Amino acid sequence: MKKDFVSIKDLSKKEVKELFLLTEKLKQARPKHEKPLQNKTIALVFEKPSLRTRVTFETGIYELGGSPIYLSPQDIGLGKRESISDIARNLSLWVSGIVARVFAHQSVVELAEYASIPVINALSNLEHPCQALADLFTVYEKFKAFKGLKFAYIGDGNNVCRSLMLLAETCGLEMWVATPPGYEPDKKSQVTNHKSQVLNDPREAIKDADVIYTDVWASMGEETEKEKRLKIFKDFQVNKELLKYAKPECLIMHCLPAHRGEEITSEVLDSKNSIVLQQAENRLHTQKALLTILLSSP
Ligand code: CP
Ligand code: NVA
């Protein structure tokens, strides 16, 4: 595997398979599995808030025998107090890996370029690859295959959507995306799988879907656009009305945090078809597999 995990594009189909196999093993064996991160320290460099990503990485590192150090925006001022290249070169002297949550994707690319140790993207404006790994592992757990499934994403063509599209392509999963015009994921992230489509009609996208996924309409860093987006996205809310066009057994996914009453209603988020907590749980297991693969060599 490559030194870093900055984008879903860093993983081949074979590597995703291996990662999912190791995830299953670690999940079953927990907590009695090997501790490949013993005597290793991992820096968590976060420019944005987090519940799931921070807690699952910190917990995962502890469970694998290592020690995390959390560095908040006030601590190091990525690219402000000090250049990204200097931070990467200094951290490489003391720790074994960097997990970075950043605004600009270029920041995590630069960290990876200048660090001699593995760098993991824990969310950037362009991608959220760790989220996509946990999500498609959750789909795999539920259905035991990707072939023959229809996965529908409704809402903003954002970082989560892009990573899901790239991973869907790697895994051979048919993914339909519905966004308002102008909010589609960029062409480079769109799957080439002939069955997948990007459109502007949520009803068409969810027809016969096995899974419906949504995420917030204004991501971290886009707060000033929130009011404008609430109006533009209003027909893309995942609610009972929209679900009339879906299969009754269709599963509901969301990376969380959810803005209840905006992109999804509480009724749907808390329904029996919702698997959002399985997704959140699997963040821990898939990231432990990722850390093991990237960091267990001496
Ligand atoms: N899904 C996710 O990344 O959650 P946090 O922003 O809380 O880490
Ligand atoms: N798209 C969201 C995901 C949060 C986990 C954001 O970037 O804020």
User: Quick check: is 135 in a domain?
Assistant: yes
User: Quick check: is 2 in a domain?
Assistant: no
Check whether the bond before 248 is cis (ω within 30° of 0): no
pLDDT tens figures, 58-75:
999 999 999 999 999 889
- Residue 194 predicted with pLDDT over 70: no
Residue with tokens 């339909």: 176
pLDDT tens figures, 91-124:
999 999 999 999 999 999 999 999 999 999 999 9
162 in the same domain as 64: no
135 in the same domain as 124: no
183 in the same domain as 118: no
Cα-to-centroid distance, 23 and ligand 2 (Å): 23
Please give the mean pLDDT across all residues of the chain: 96
The tokens for 128 are: 């959220």
191 in the same domain as 114: no
145 in the same domain as 101: no
Cα 105 to Cα 110: distance, rounded to the nearest angstrom: 9
| Domain interval for residue 81 | 8-128+282-295
User: Quick check: is 3 in a domain?
Assistant: no
121 in the same domain as 48: yes
Using only C-alpha atoms, what is the Rg of the chain? Answer: 19
Task: Count the domains in the chain.
Answer: 2
Ligand that comes closest to the CA of residue 279: 1
Cα 137 to Cα 24: distance, rounded to the nearest angstrom: 9
What band does 286 get if pLDDT is binned at 50, 70 and 90?
very high
78 in the same domain as 38: yes
Cβ distance 33 to 6 under 8 Å? no
Q: Which of 44, 45, 48, 52 to mutate to test the pocket of ligand 1 (most atoms within 8 A of CB)?
A: 52
151 in the same domain as 256: yes
159 in the same domain as 110: no
146 in the same domain as 53: no
- Residue 89 predicted with pLDDT over 90: yes
**Ligand 2 atom closest to 52 (CA):** 5
Cα-to-centroid distance, 159 and ligand 2 (Å): 7
Average pLDDT over every residue of 166-195: 86
Residue 248 belongs to domain with CATH number: 3.40.50.1370
pLDDT tens figures, 255-274:
999 999 999 999 999 999 99
96 in the same domain as 192: no
Beta strands in the chain (DSSP E): 41-46, 67-71, 97-101, 119-121, 150-154, 174-178, 197-199, 211-214, 251-254
Could you list the active site residues?
A: 101, 128, 131, 215, 255, 283
